[in-house]
Amino acid sequence: MSEITKQSLSELVKNIKDKNLSSEEVTKAFIDRSEKSKELNAYITENYSSALENAKKFDQKPNLELKLPGIPMAVKDLFCTKDIRTTAGSKILGNFVPTYESTVTQNLWDEGAILIGKLNCDEFAMGSSNETSFFGNVQNPIDKNLVPGGSSGGSASAVAGQLTPVTIGTDTGGSIRQPASFTGTVGLKPTYGSCSRYGIVAFASSLDQAGPMAQNVKDCALLQEVISTYDPKDSTSIEFKRNEYSKELTNNIKGKKIGIPKEYRVEGMPKEIEDLWQKGIEFAKDCGAQIVDITLPHTSYALPTYYIVAPAEASSNLARYDGVKYGFRAKGENLTDMYEKTRSEGFGDEVQRRIMIGTYVLSSGYYDAYYLKAQKIRKLIKNDFDEAYKKVDAILTPSTPSSAFKIGEKKDDPVSMYLNDIFTVPVNLAGLPGISIPAGHDTNGYPLGLQIIGKAFDEQSILNIAYAMEEKIKFKNKITDWWIK
């Protein structure tokens, strides 16, 4: 048996079920490695001692029928966890201890998983490099001073660095898929309405979705099957037939039609991304898929549309942080002064920027020109996908327009940072599922990802395609444990 932290989720589940390993052994191994990995700054809050207690409790009366029996797991610090601090990477929630549990995390614990900690992320999930977190940068295990992507940067770093066997993140414009791509891991953004948003700190409510991040496609499928449930507590949760994704996973994708959208060949795209995409097309063909050229004519409008819709919703959602009911409060001379100082001192620069954009596009006289216009173009973007799916079962694109960049490289240029999400944002606007799988390396040896986009509620097809391609690609992450002394 290989070293515990090197095992995949599926291997760990099997070893616990076969009684080769106890939950305590597994939990201890991931805690030990997390302790040695402080330099990555992947955690905001550790839950080690109570995790060990829970593991011991599990071992005393193990329920081996569960899907995640005694499996330790750290999750993005955007999910409310009862009695455990939840910060969303923000100073304004720095001392917030929820009195309730998010549905998605509750689903994990109900299947036997054990929380080992809360993972770093961009403040309120707004960012593509984890540099907006109040709790500091996260290092990418691939190389020192490289961003892990964002906003689920701590999550991606923790999975790639094997601090947790799997994790869950959230994805509003690419926040699962882009960091997965930057760290050589697998990340799935499910269909809007698949996973409950109850108890997730809200960013942009019409776009936010929780999803799994893992070392491989099978683990991702297993986790998706646990977290995706209909939830009356989320009014946009949708009732549909949810598969047992991991059981129904197959590498037989013969005859599946995979679309290649020409508009994703963007100006200035590095040759290595173009080459990776070509390689992906060849792998898909090798798997028996049929390649079809398609067009998504409004692709180039997706990012500007997103930067109206998301900030607008954020400015409204974040109005609740006023220093009155919970969170940080600054001293003020009067009520308004208290509000203004609380929000000015409590929110970081990027969050303030987005609240300002959102407030502006929703303000009197500008609503029609910006917000309504963006909603109309969002419709055109969704129509593009609806048209394409008359001809194909899934769509293959690169996940990101580049590999991971250096910490600080894009921090002072918001627009160049936003361009990171050019291939992922359209998927959120249309509410579709998308998965990023590692598919190659650039000249520095940094991982590059391919994205497979599916029809709404058809997570199974993209998981199958990803599973089949993963077998052909045989990706190996180049991680040297440089951060462990």
Residues that bind another protein (CB under 8 A): 95-97, 99-100, 192-193, 206, 232, 235-236, 238, 298, 300-301, 303-305, 307-308, 315, 319, 322-329, 332-341, 343-344, 347, 352-353, 355-357, 359-360, 363, 370, 372-380, 382, 414-415, 418, 429-431, 456
Task: Name the packing angle between helices 349-362 and 302-317 (round to 10°).
Answer: 100
Residue 100 beta carbon to another protein: minimum distance, rounded to whole angstroms: 8
147/126 Cα distance (integer angstroms):
15
Instruction: Of 10, 141, 130, 152, give the one whose Cα is nearest residue 75.
Output: 152
For tokens 């462990």, what's the residue?
Answer: 484
- Provide the residue type at 478 as one letter: K
403 part of the active site: no
Give SS3 for 151. Answer: coil
The answer to whether the Cα torsion of 424, 79, 130, 180 is positive or negative is: negative
Q: Return the number of other C-beta atoms located less than 10 Å from residue 442's C-beta.
A: 16
* CB within 8 Å of 376: residues ≥ 6 apart: none
Describe the strand order of the beta sheet including 257-261 as a list of residue ranges. 167-171, 209-214, 186-189, 434-441, 447-454, 394-398, 257-261, 290-294
- Provide the residue type at 443 as one letter: T
Query: Nearer to another protein by C-beta: 88 or 186?
Result: 88
Residue 24 beta carbon to another protein: minimum distance, rounded to whole angstroms: 32
The angle formed by the CA atoms of residues 291, 294 and 299, to the nearest 5 degrees, is: 130
Residue 379 beta carbon to another protein: minimum distance, rounded to whole angstroms: 4
Residue 176 beta carbon to another protein: minimum distance, rounded to whole angstroms: 17
Out of 10, 37, 67, 76, which one is annotated catalytic? 76
Query: Nearer to another protein by C-beta: 309 or 448?
Result: 309
The angle formed by the CA atoms of residues 196, 199 and 205, to the nearest 5 degrees, is: 65
102 part of the active site: no
Out of 37, 90, 102, 151, which one is annotated catalytic? 151
Instruction: Of 148, 161, 219, give the one whose Cα is nearest residue 34.
Output: 161
Query: Nearer to another protein by C-beta: 22 or 316?
Result: 316
Query: Nearer to another protein by C-beta: 80 or 108?
Result: 80
Out of 175, 246, 403, 436, which one is annotated catalytic? 175
Q: Per this entry, what is the length of the chain?
A: 485
What tokens were used for 49?
A: 């001692």
Give SS3 for 244. Answer: coil
DSSP code for 202: P
175 part of the active site: yes
Q: Return the number of other C-beta atoms located less than 10 Å from residue 47's C-beta.
A: 20
Residue 421 beta carbon to another protein: minimum distance, rounded to whole angstroms: 13
Residue 355 beta carbon to another protein: minimum distance, rounded to whole angstroms: 5
Instruction: Of 136, 139, 188, give the one whose Cα is nearest residue 160.
Output: 139
312/18 Cα distance (integer angstroms):
51
What tokens were used for 249?
A: 């996973």
Query: What is the gyration radius of the CA atoms in the chain, in angstroms?
Result: 21
Give SS3 for 440. Answer: strand
Residue 212 beta carbon to another protein: minimum distance, rounded to whole angstroms: 20
Residue 201 beta carbon to another protein: minimum distance, rounded to whole angstroms: 13
Cite the active site residues.
Answer: 76, 151, 175
